[in-house]
């Protein structure tokens, strides 16, 4: 099969896997991809004969995967748990290489010891992300998450370096502990130092370019994506470890930024994350599909002549048992000695719970994409370019079998041994956290309005506050308990406001000051005004309803061809409608205050919160009327709406001004508000008021809003 056709087949398999994965609820996505690859190899036998240059495989697959893992890692978390992570990522890998390598050579003497060590080294890296599809059915502790993520990053590098030494010994037939030690130190520390230097230069270059005002998102993302390939190739040219260099560069370039400086930076981060998500998904998908395509090799004539299928399965099961057994013993010993920083107790004081936790950590670290990527880099030929590498196909098949077994174990047993997540807890916490953030931002915006009263930014700030109040109200309505009371009170407020509007409408009609055609512009204006102070959905229509067909037609005509706020007549319509809206706000405040002042009413606290929101709306409406005026027109009580009342001198000039300035500065003020939101999220997370997972979800929502600002 041609290379182009093979690529199309693999991409098609990845897409098919993603489509059918929701239908196979009990299978994690990697297992589905393996299954699809296996079926593809049976239907199209040519795809099983995959021939990719080992060095190219290392660059195309391993380098970007490890770079992405490193840039997403938390440096502070890694450093805080450095002892346990190094123990798992280095000590456990070396023990696994020795035990599994000797065992494999003993079971299959035709595999040289060095090649067996190479196979065992490839089985060192874990792939905690491979069971990510089980995230909704299991609950891992913070320590388990930290150990798994840190281990999967560092042991990828240690596994690759060990593999490279084993392959060098297998191909040359020479192994010197002294030379190997010296070479290891040079490769290890040389790769780390090279990666740190290059990563710092790349990171500093991005910052410098950004500060000069050049923030092209496309160039930024491409620069970031190309970096791991460039770092790997440059490190290999200097004869140091390209893998370790990529990991070090990723850690430097992924340094946590305290807060978002601009909407353009947030847009870059959002697109970068999405782009990397696609790249990692495709790489992982292709690798697991390739794994599935390797499984039919068990029936190939080459392997079948030396081993029958039961023998191969037996070898795979023994290797899996050794890998998982060694891991469980190592993690158990480590966790029994661990001191919980909260309780001050060692794990040995509660052996049962500690061993159960160790079992979860063991199973949650299956072998995955990096292991398969490493094993595919075994050379086809020995250095003489004539002799084939001994048992290459068998080693790849056995490794693929162990990967499959560890994934199946994680898929089947992890939901059994790991605690179940608290149902609905995340959703409630997320809403409460967002309410807390939005409340804080609204308070900051109101303070800004007071400090900048009469400035050209004030109209835009009032509109931004209205948008945040709308978001805040929507979130509050969704919270259990409090949301039910709030919906009840809001419903009653809207009913009373409509009654007051009907009363005023009837009075104007009896006085001969009301016709449907005359009232239509006022009603259309009222909907816009109520929307601009935070009302949404049907609530914005309260007070602007006609109960007859004639009025409905007049209002529809006005909505299709609205009155443009440009001349004195339209200014007068806006002024009168603001006073009408002020009257309706007083109705709401009077009702809510009556409940808030009753200490025995369980709704008092919610009513007080709503009353404060309506007072904010009232202030916003009065600010529009008083904008730019020498005297304050504010009144304490309800206004008996009189359409014939005189509009203050010079007022007709201010409304058009406000609309123009609101449009002119809307994006600028919205951008400032979103930065406030990100800063508040960061503050609450840093002070321990908000979990990291919820903070990240809220940030993503803000990033999306920032992207819309353009």
Residue pair 17/40 in contact by the 8 Å Cβ criterion? no
Residue pair 58/373 in contact by the 8 Å Cβ criterion? yes
Kindly give, in sequence order, each residue whose CB lies less than 8 Å from that of residue 516, ignoring residues fewer than 6 positions away: 546, 548, 550, 551, 553, 554, 555
Beta-bridge partner residues of 339: 346
Query: Chain-centre distance of CA 200, in angstroms?
Result: 25
Residue 137: closest CA among 23, 28, 30 = 28
Q: Which helix (H) or strand (E) holds 640?
A: none
Q: What phi and psi, each to the nearest 5 degrees, are found at residue 453?
A: -60, 130
Query: Chain-centre distance of CA 603, in angstroms?
Result: 37
Residue 257: the pLDDT is 47
C-alpha dihedral sign at 138, 139, 144, 150:
positive
Q: What phi and psi, each to the nearest 5 degrees, are found at residue 474?
A: -60, -40
Kindly give, in sequence order, each residue whose CB lies less than 8 Å from that of residue 472, ignoring residues fewer than 6 positions away: 435, 438, 439, 442
- Whole-angstrom CA distances from 292 to 54, 58, 143, 297, 325 are 19, 19, 33, 10, 25
Residue pair 124/158 in contact by the 8 Å Cβ criterion? yes
Residue 130: the pLDDT is 58
| CA–CA separation, 151 and 131 (whole Å) | 15
| CA–CA separation, 231 and 175 (whole Å) | 29
Residue-wise pLDDT tens digits, 156-202: 777 877 888 888 888 877 656 666 667 767 877 888 899 999 988 98
| CA–CA separation, 483 and 194 (whole Å) | 56
Residue pair 263/709 in contact by the 8 Å Cβ criterion? yes
Residue pair 579/625 in contact by the 8 Å Cβ criterion? yes
- Whole-angstrom CA distances from 206 to 199, 253, 559, 706 are 11, 10, 50, 21
Residue 703: closest CA among 221, 106, 269, 240 = 269
| CA–CA separation, 246 and 250 (whole Å) | 6
Residue 644 CB neighbour total at 10 angstroms: 8
Residue 330: the pLDDT is 94
| CA–CA separation, 499 and 491 (whole Å) | 13
> What is the CATH architecture assignment of 3-421?
Up-down Bundle (1.20)
Beta-bridge partner residues of 388: 381
Residue pair 607/638 in contact by the 8 Å Cβ criterion? no
Residues of the chain with pLDDT under 50: 133-136, 256-260, 423-425, 565, 641-644, 652
Exposed/middle/buried for residue 538 (C-beta within 10 Å: 0-12, 13-18, 19+) = exposed
| CA–CA separation, 681 and 642 (whole Å) | 46
- Which residue shows structure tokens 């190739």? 233
Cα angle 539, 540, 546 (rounded to 5 degrees) comes to: 95
Residue 179: the pLDDT is 65
Long-range contact set of residues 15-19: C-beta below 8 Å, sequence gap at least 24:
17/285, 17/288, 17/289, 18/285
Residue 555: closest CA among 589, 576, 526, 595 = 526
Residue-wise pLDDT tens digits, 443-472: 888 888 878 776 777 777 877 887 787 777
Residue pair 151/121 in contact by the 8 Å Cβ criterion? no
Q: What phi and psi, each to the nearest 5 degrees, are found at residue 381?
A: -125, 155
Beta strands in 167-269 (DSSP E): none
Residue pair 225/253 in contact by the 8 Å Cβ criterion? no
Domain limits of the chain?
Answer: 3-421, 422-480+665-710, 494-648
Query: Chain-centre distance of CA 526, in angstroms?
Result: 40
Residue 517: the pLDDT is 66
| CA–CA separation, 401 and 375 (whole Å) | 12
Residue 565: the pLDDT is 47
Can you say whether residue 641 is alpha, beta or left, with left for phi > 0 and alpha for psi between -120 and 50 degrees?
Answer: beta
- Whole-angstrom CA distances from 9 to 43, 280, 296, 386, 707 are 11, 18, 17, 31, 35
Residue pair 610/486 in contact by the 8 Å Cβ criterion? yes
Residue pair 579/641 in contact by the 8 Å Cβ criterion? yes
Residue 260: the pLDDT is 46
Long-range contact set of residues 381-389: C-beta below 8 Å, sequence gap at least 24:
382/171, 383/171, 383/172, 389/115, 389/170, 389/171
Residue 118: closest CA among 171, 184, 80, 69 = 171
Q: What is the CA radius of gyration of the chain?
A: 33
Whether pTM > 0.85 for this model: the answer is no
**Dihedral of the CA atoms 509, 513, 518, 521 (nearest 10)?**
-90
Residue pair 326/295 in contact by the 8 Å Cβ criterion? no
3-state secondary structure of 173: coil
**Dihedral of the CA atoms 476, 479, 483, 487 (nearest 10)?**
70
């Amino acid at each position: 099969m041609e290379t182009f056709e093979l690529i199309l087949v693999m991409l098609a398999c990845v897409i098919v896997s993603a489509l059918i994965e929701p239908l196979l609820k009990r299978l994690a996505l990697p297992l589905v991809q393996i299954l699809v690859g296996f079926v593809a190899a049976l239907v199209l036998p040519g795809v099983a004969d995959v021939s990719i240059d080992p060095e190219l495989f290392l660059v195309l697959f391993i380098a970007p995967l490890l770079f992405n893992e490193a840039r997403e890692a938390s440096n502070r978390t890694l450093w805080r748990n450095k002892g346990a992570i190094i123990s798992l990522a280095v000590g456990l890998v070396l023990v696994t290489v020795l035990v599994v390598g000797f065992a494999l050579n003993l079971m299959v003497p035709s595999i040289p010891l060095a090649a067996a060590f190479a196979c065992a080294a490839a089985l060192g890296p874990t792939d905690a992300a491979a069971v990510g599809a089980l995230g909704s059915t299991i609950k891992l502790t913070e320590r388990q998450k930290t150990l798994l993520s840190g281990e999967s990053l560092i042991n990828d590098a240690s596994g690759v370096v060990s593999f490279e030494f084993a392959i060098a010994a297998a191909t040359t037939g020479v192994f010197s502990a002294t030379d190997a030690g010296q070479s290891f130190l040079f490769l290890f520390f040389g790769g780390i130092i090279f990666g740190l230097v290059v990563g710092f230069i790349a990171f500093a270059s991005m910052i410098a370019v950004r500060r000069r005002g050049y923030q092209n998102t496309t160039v930024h993302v491409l620069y970031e994506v190309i970096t791991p390939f460039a770092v790997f190739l440059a490190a290999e040219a200097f004869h140091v470890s390209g893998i370790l260099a990529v990991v070090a560069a990723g850690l430097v370039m992924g340094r946590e930024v305290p807060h978002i400086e601009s909407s353009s930076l947030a847009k870059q981060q959002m697109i970068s994350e999405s782009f990397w998500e696609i790249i990692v998904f495709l790489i992982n998908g292709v690798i697991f599909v390739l794994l599935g395509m390797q499984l039919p090799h068990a029936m190939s004539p080459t392997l079948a002549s030396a081993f029958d299928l039961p023998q191969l399965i037996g070898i795979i099961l023994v290797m899996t048992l050794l890998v998982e057994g060694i891991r469980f013993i190592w993690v158990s010993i480590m966790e029994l000695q661990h001191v919980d920083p909260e309780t001050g107790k060692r794990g040995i004081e509660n052996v049962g719970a500690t061993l159960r936790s160790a079992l979860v950590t063991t199973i949650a670290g299956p072998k995955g994409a990096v292991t398969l990527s490493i094993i595919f880099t075994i050379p086809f030929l020995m250095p003489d370019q004539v002799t084939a590498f001994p048992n290459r196909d068998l080693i790849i098949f056995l490794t693929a079998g162990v990967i499959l077994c560890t994934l199946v174990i994680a898929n089947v047993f992890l939901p059994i041994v790991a605690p179940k997540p608290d149902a609905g807890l995340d959703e409630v916490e997320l809403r409460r956290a967002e309410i807390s953030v939005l409340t804080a931002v609204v308070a900051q915006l109101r303070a800004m309005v007071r400090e900048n009263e009469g400035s050209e930014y004030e109209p835009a700030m009032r509109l931004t506050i209205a948008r945040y109040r709308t978001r805040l109200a929507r979130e509050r309505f969704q919270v259990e308990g409090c949301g039910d009371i709030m919906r009840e009170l809001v419903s009653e407020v809207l009913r009373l406001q409509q009654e007051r509007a009907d009363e005023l409408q009837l009075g104007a009609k009896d006085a001969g000051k009301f016709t449907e055609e005359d009232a239509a512009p006022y009603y259309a204006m009222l909907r816009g005004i109520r929307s601009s102070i935070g009302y949404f959905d049907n609530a914005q229509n309260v007070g602007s309803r006609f109960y007859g067909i004639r009025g409905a037609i007049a209002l529809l005509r006005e909505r299709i061809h609205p009155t443009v706020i440009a001349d004195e007549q339209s200014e007068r319509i806006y002024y009168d409608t603001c006073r009408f809206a002020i009257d309706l706000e007083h109705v709401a405040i009077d009702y809510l205050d009556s409940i808030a002042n009753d200490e025995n009413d369980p709704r008092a606290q919610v009513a007080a919160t709503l009353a404060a929101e309506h007072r904010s709306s009232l202030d916003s409406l009065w600010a529009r009327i008083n904008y730019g005026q020498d005297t304050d027109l504010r009144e304490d009580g309800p206004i008996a709406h009189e359409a014939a009342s005189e509009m203050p001198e010079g007022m007709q000039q201010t409304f058009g001004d406000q609309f123009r300035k609101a449009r002119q500065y809307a994006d600028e003020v919205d951008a400032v508000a979103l930065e406030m939101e990100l800063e508040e999220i960061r503050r609450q997370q840093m002070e321990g008021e908000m979990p990291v997972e919820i903070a990240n979800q809220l940030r993503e929502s803000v990033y999306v809003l920032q992207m819309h600002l353009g």
